[in-house]
Structure 1
Amino acid sequence: MELRSLHYFIAVAETLHFSRAAERLHIAQPPLSQQIQRLEKEMGVQLFERTKRSVRLSAAGEVFLQEAYRTLAQAEQSIHAARAADRGEIGRLALGFVGSSAYGMLPAMIQAFRERFPQVELILREWTTVEQVQALHKEEIQIGFVRPPILDATLHHLTVQQEPFLVAVPVKHPLATSSSVSLSALADDPFIFVPSKLAPGLSHQMMDMCLQAGFQPRIAQEAIQFHVIISLVAAGLGIALVPACIRTFQRPDVVYLPLQDSTIQAEIQMVRQRAGHSVVMHNFLDVVKAHTTEAQNRLSF
């Protein structure tokens, strides 16, 4: 049964007049009558009761009219859904992210994407950089937000955030009231680091900063989540080097101090496979690139 047959049937059912229905459909009356007869023969029921003076729906026709309405509405909805999918307006996208990226630009990117594409299902998974690289290869996620470096030539990466490191110290630390501090002045303090096995990029950056300042840090504690690290700082277990975005996590017993002598930047990179991109992914990449460009422009002023 063709959808055209349903349109023809509905036109006759609503007008109860073959000539007026033919005018509405912009066809001649004989082909319309033949189409209705073929439809009745195909279904094996009489849809209309005809006399020389009138046309009315049969009991079967009354039921079929309601089903025809529903069928055409469903067909129209299917067409709209297919077109929306083709534009990337519906679908699914799985994202991985390191916990610290939630303090930076990632929430704004996700919010902007959801405002533009509210029907796309976003799956968010907080994983370490190492776990995200593995998940990308297993196709468990399509995009990851990680801490570099990523030594994997099969993945494409884009820097979406750069920021200086700060040092977090307890509020009772002797240098807590300083406007800034030299890292070398903290050489004797115990440090809280991220574990190198789980966050090798950040761990190596923190170590390099200390070595460039002329000392080997004494690592007293390790933690992978920055809110845990800051809590350990507040407890007086050590000081910590943290990306600048972490200062949004405010505590009255922790002070964030700028560093005087370090140019090393903390980065967030977006990584993805080089091939196999869906329209949904392209739409998300456009949002990310727009936010990255805006951030770069703000830094340039």
Structure 2
Amino acid sequence: MEFRHLRYFVAVAEELHFGRAAERLHIAQPPLSQQIRQLENELGFQLFHRTKRSVALTEAGAVFLQESRRLLYQLEQAIQTGRQVSRGEQGQLVIGFVSSAAYNVLPPILRSFRAAFPEVKLELHELTTDHQLQWLSDRRLDVGLVRPPIDDLLLQVQTIFQEPLVLALPDRHLFAQEPIISLKAIAAEPFILFPRSLAPGLYDQIISLCQRAGFSPTVVQEAIQMQTIISLVAAEIGIAIVPVSLKNLQRTGVIYKPLQEETPQAEVAIVCRKLDVTPTVQRFLDLATQMTKS
């Protein structure tokens, strides 16, 4: 039995007329009658009572009609789902992101993607850059928002956002009222920083910025997440140099000041496996790239 046999049967059952059913199906009447006979022989029971003047469903035929409609509906749903998945419009996308991306590019990208592709289920994981790279290697992530550089030939990496660095100070700090601060003025201050292994690109930018000002920062405390660093600044454990978008965190007890020196641009990049760009991943990449260019 093939699904076309079910379509033929449903057409005849709904029309109760072989001629009209044949017109509806765009086939000739004799082949249609033959197909219904073959279906009945294969099923082992009669579907229709036929006379020269009328066609009527048997009791078994009426039950078979209900089940046939259900099967055809499920087939149509399966076809539609397959088409949507093939176009990247349905399925699941597992996304990793560094914590600081939650204060700049991540929210607008997610809003736009959910609006454009509501049938795609999003699974989000806040992870450091090094953990995202491991999860991508383990195929636990589909795409990530990381801090470059990324040196892995198996990964596709594209910078989608850049921002300057600023100084995060406790609001009761000596320099809290200064409109702009020189790095040399804070050379002796205790610094809060993250371990280099978590985001070596951003770490090296911060250290190089300080070294160009003539000092190496005295790191008194390390923290993994940017929001934890800001919390420690609020607790007056030290000061920190952070991406400017961290101002969106709005933590009580912390103020942000521009630096007198020109700072490097902290970057956020989107990354995925080169050989595993599914239609859904490509949709996400295209949308993220388009949004951050505008």
With the length of structure 2 as denominator, give the TM-score of the two structures.
Answer: 0.94
CA distance in structure 2 between the aligned counterparts of 1:286 and 1:181, rounded to whole angstroms: 39
Change (3 A) 1:22 1:123: same
The answer to whether the Cα contact below 8 Å between 1:89 and 1:117 also exists between their aligned partners in 2 is yes
The answer to whether the Cα contact below 8 Å between 2:148 and 2:199 also exists between their aligned partners in 1 is no
SS in 1 for 2:39: helix
Aligned-residue offset at 1:60 = 0.2
SS in 1 for 2:162: strand
The answer to whether the Cα contact below 8 Å between 1:99 and 1:126 also exists between their aligned partners in 2 is yes
1:114 is aligned to: 114
CA distance in structure 2 between the aligned counterparts of 1:18 and 1:263, rounded to whole angstroms: 80
1:39 is aligned to: 39
SS in 2 for 1:178: coil
Name whichever of 189-198 and 63-72 sits farther off. 189-198
2:287 is aligned to: 287
Equivalences for residues 105-184 of structure 1 within 5 A: 105-184=105-184
Is residue 94 of structure 2 the alignment partner of residue 101 of structure 1? no
2:72 is aligned to: 72
Aligned-residue offset at 1:157 = 1.6
Aligned-residue offset at 1:206 = 1.7
SS in 2 for 1:124: strand
The answer to whether the Cα contact below 8 Å between 1:95 and 1:143 also exists between their aligned partners in 2 is yes
Deviations 1:92-132 (A, max 9, x none): 22222111111111221122112111112222222111112
Partner amino acid, structure 2, of 1:273: R
Aligned-residue offset at 1:155 = 2.5
Partner amino acid, structure 2, of 1:291: M
CA distance in structure 1 between the aligned counterparts of 2:26 and 2:219, rounded to whole angstroms: 83
The answer to whether the Cα contact below 8 Å between 1:199 and 1:224 also exists between their aligned partners in 2 is no
SS in 1 for 2:219: strand
CA distance in structure 1 between the aligned counterparts of 2:177 and 2:210, rounded to whole angstroms: 22
2:223 is aligned to: 223
Structure 1 residue runs of 5 or longer lacking an equivalent are: 295-301
SS in 2 for 1:263: coil
Change (3 A) 1:187 1:7: same
Is residue 269 of structure 2 the alignment partner of residue 269 of structure 1? yes
Structure 2 residue runs of 5 or longer lacking an equivalent are: none
Partner amino acid, structure 2, of 1:288: A
Deviations 1:16-49 (A, max 9, x none): 2223333333333322222221111110001112
1:49 is aligned to: 49
Name whichever of 85-94 and 237-246 sits farther off. 85-94
Aligned-residue offset at 1:181 = 0.7
SS in 1 for 2:161: strand
The answer to whether the Cα contact below 8 Å between 1:146 and 1:271 also exists between their aligned partners in 2 is yes
SS in 2 for 1:153: coil
Aligned-residue offset at 1:241 = 0.6
Change (3 A) 1:25 1:245: same
CA distance in structure 2 between the aligned counterparts of 1:198 and 1:230, rounded to whole angstroms: 17
Aligned-residue offset at 1:209 = 1.4
2:278 is aligned to: 278
The answer to whether the Cα contact below 8 Å between 2:109 and 2:291 also exists between their aligned partners in 1 is yes
Identity %: 52
SS in 2 for 1:275: helix
CA distance in structure 2 between the aligned counterparts of 1:234 and 1:210, rounded to whole angstroms: 22
1:185 is aligned to: 185
CA distance in structure 2 between the aligned counterparts of 1:179 and 1:100, rounded to whole angstroms: 24
CA distance in structure 2 between the aligned counterparts of 1:54 and 1:149, rounded to whole angstroms: 77
CA distance in structure 2 between the aligned counterparts of 1:21 and 1:156, rounded to whole angstroms: 54
1:214 is aligned to: 214
Is residue 209 of structure 2 the alignment partner of residue 204 of structure 1? no
Deviations 1:113-159 (A, max 9, x none): 12111112222222111112222222221222111222333323211
SS in 1 for 2:130: helix
